[in-house]
A and B are shown apart, each in its own frame.
Chain A
């Protein structure tokens, strides 16, 4: 921009993002709230990523089972398969992989959409006509992403387990009921609750980063592409940081 070094720019970016986050919390608690637009965004965001999430989760279930099966077999421990798969998917692989897929789909989508609205002055037009664009565009999308990702993760986890069951059934002849009884018995609340809580934070981060990049997009069509691209990069990075924090906190509280 105005001749800053890259380190200075990095800190300016962090500062801007913090300010954006603060503004989000200011705007979400003041009237008016755009309920209709929120519902529309929930539908859009959930619907857009459902297929992708399902396919990814299904394949993850297949692959994990195929790859760990020989090792477990060596120890004669195939019967542990369902519990091992369910714990690793519910606790870590499901939330993280699905959130990454979601980031690729939604952060870039929001970044590009808001970016092009910024560049073509649609956001200015909204402001002039008396609608607060931050409430209408940003708050609704961030809330929608926060609410939708946990739902997608629950669906994705179930699909991944189903994928795993198919392999087990082909290779080891387990029934669906037996497989899922074993899988669910292996889980305790300390596996499920922290994993679900963190998906809310993941969804929030993905929505917020996408909106931040799009809303502050540079002029020109190059700016739109850059907004979409850096939204995905920034969101994915933030996901791993959040995941580390979440695992760390869970470790302290539940001493697993």
Chain B
């Protein structure tokens, strides 16, 4: 009995050590512009990993390679034990339901209402929830978790930047992903709205029990949400560590990020 539960615990520990996302030696260039030059990353289950890097350092390119929106030149991409580059379109779509993506500019479909925006991911993924004819409860649940149920019939053009970001977050939540990728969740927002979004991210983390990969160059955001950080400089993971370790570093390139 005890040995049984012991092995069970052991299994849990080892499975926790398994990275849910693993990037190995990622390389990507646009013509002569080498953006990624051997980038490595491991995201563990339940973890909040922050990636920081200068504007134009290739953070968005990296995260788009990770989800298969951009073809990499070489390297390995593994998500939940599956090699992304060897999947066919259907398998890829299947895997993508487990990975939510919050785009840098929210990327709401501006010809659709908020409700239609949220329903859009459901149209191809009904099997994940069984066949649902009435999507209203799912839409309302997602909107509730970002506190914007009242906006359900508005058009994106009628929303403020912060509201758009929340709706976009609701749209990624609707498929109940295990991993959420945030591309600069606070960019272009005022400090107060940024704080609200960060707060929301933490709530979602505990409510939905997700693992998150967060791209940002907002130091405050990094301090609050990160458990571990990676600095992306010159196309490689230049440094790794906790916020405190990195912010106390003596390296000039690293210090530049934390100067205020």
A contact residues vs B (CB 8 Å cutoff)? 1-2, 117, 120-122, 124-132
Contacts and interface: CB of A to CB of B under 8 A. Distances in A.
Contacts of A126: 109, 120
Given A121-B103, A121-B104, A124-B69, A130 B109 contact: no
Contacts of A130: 93, 96-97, 121, 124-125
Nearest to A116: B110
Nearest to A124: B69
B69 A131 contact: no
Contacts of B31: 1-2
A124 B121 contact: no
Contacts of A132: 89
If over half of B's interface residues share one DSSP class (helix, strand or loop), that class is named, otherwise mixed; here it is loop
Interface string B183-194: 000000000000
B221 interface: no
A129 B32 contact: no
**List of 3 A-B pairs having minimum Cβ-Cβ separation, nearest first:** A2-B31, A129-B121, A130-B124
Contacts of B107: 120-122, 124-125
A121 B32 CA distance: 24
Contacts, number: 48
B260 interface: no
Nearest to B123: A131
A161 to B, nearest CB: 37
A38 to B, nearest CB: 15
For A122, A129, A132, which residue has the most chain B Cβ atoms within 10 angstroms? A129
Contact of A120 (B97, B101, B105): B105
Nearest to B124: A130
Given A2-B32, A127-B69, A128-B99, 4 more contacts: A124-B107, A125-B107, A130-B97, A130-B125
Nearest to B33: A2
Contacts of A125: 101, 103, 107, 109
B30 to A, nearest CB: 8
A130 B68 CA distance: 12
A44 to B, nearest CB: 10
